[in-house]
Amino acid sequence: MRNYPASPDVQLPRKDILGYESAWNISPFGLAQFEHNYDPDLLLKIEKKALALKETHAIHKHLDLTFITGADRFIPEIGELIRDSDRLRYLSEVIGTPVEPYPFSVVSSTVTFMGPTDGSVSWHGDGVPVTELIPLSLSDDLQGGHLQVYRGNPDEGRAFLNSGATLDPEKIEPFQHRLGYSTVGQFLGVLHRTAPITQGTRTTLVLNLRSRVMPWVDDNRLFYLAADNDHDQSNWVDEIRADVYDNQLPAYRAFEERSTKREKDLAHGS
Ligand SMILES: O=C(O)CCC(=O)C(=O)O
Ligand SMILES: [Fe+2]
């Protein structure tokens, strides 16, 4: 059993980020940072392989993001972390509901490369419900490159940005990435970006997660997945279709039945 901190260093409920209770989420969890204690040799191996694959496998298409999609397909060592049961148990505790690895091969894990030429990811809300950001390297001379979370209504924030306005700096919360520390967030429906990098580089392993109870809570629309993955010849659309019928729909129907039963029981005063 790996040594996890009893509670994360930083923990922010979703309500404190958005400013209101939301219904489209997997739990009230917002964001946390904690010392992860993952095997440094394993992370080093993953970083080396990712850098070697960058030239041939990394893409830079939209959101000013340079990344390897479905990275565990090319770097099997990532699979060790994805499936690590201690990790999933701890994350489920922090998130407040059981989570499982995001199942689609093209989005289960990514490696992002950030710097003045690679870019850093611009304002967006995640398609996946929950993500764990594990720094693989942060150069000593790094200027920028921290996570910025918009505290407020994401739709309002996006409308501001679309009109050419800039976001109120008082509503932007910075989170510094640190080696040895994970940042985990329910960034679905949360406006965030990485601060532009003027100097230095950052490489990050991104492991995505979803709810085991509510696997249908997901914002990855097909057009968006296509924007990221139309270069990929794997049958990722078929994977999603199969998952909807095999996992999402049965879980959703069971949830609906429980809700209906609860309503009936309440109506009968039991
Ligand atoms: O690495 C970060 O600081 C944020 C990255 C991010 O938002 C993403 O990969 O979706
Ligand atoms: Fe994101």
Report the complex ipTM: 0.99
User: Is residue 60 assigned to a domain?
Assistant: yes
* Average pLDDT value for residue range 240-251: 97
pLDDT at residue 267, as a whole number: 87
- Is residue 62 predicted with pLDDT exceeding 80? no
User: Is residue 4 assigned to a domain?
Assistant: no
pLDDT at residue 64, as a whole number: 79
Give the domain range for residue 265.
235-270
> How far apart are the CA of 269 and the centre of ligand 1, in A?
48
The minimum-distance atom of ligand 1 relative to the CA of 112 is 9
For ligand 1, whether the C-beta of 204 sits within 6 Å is yes
Same domain (yes/no): 144, 260: no
Same domain (yes/no): 245, 138: no
Same domain (yes/no): 213, 253: no
Same domain (yes/no): 256, 135: no
Same domain (yes/no): 192, 134: yes
Same domain (yes/no): 136, 226: yes
d(CA 150, CA 84): 31
Angle at 132 between CA 128 and CA 134, to 5 degrees: 140
Mutate which of 17, 121, 136, 149 to test ligand 1's pocket (most atoms within 8 Å of Cβ)?
A: 121
For ligand 1, whether the C-beta of 12 sits within 6 Å is no
d(CA 192, CA 150): 6
Same domain (yes/no): 196, 261: no
pLDDT at residue 2, as a whole number: 67
Burial (CB count <10 Å: 0-12, 13-18, 19+), residue 117: exposed
pLDDT by residue (tens digit) across 80-139? 999 999 999 999 999 999 999 999 999 999 999 999 999 998 999 999 999 999 999 999
Domains: count for the chain: 2
Same domain (yes/no): 137, 150: yes
d(CA 236, CA 234): 6
User: Is residue 226 assigned to a domain?
Assistant: yes
Same domain (yes/no): 197, 270: no
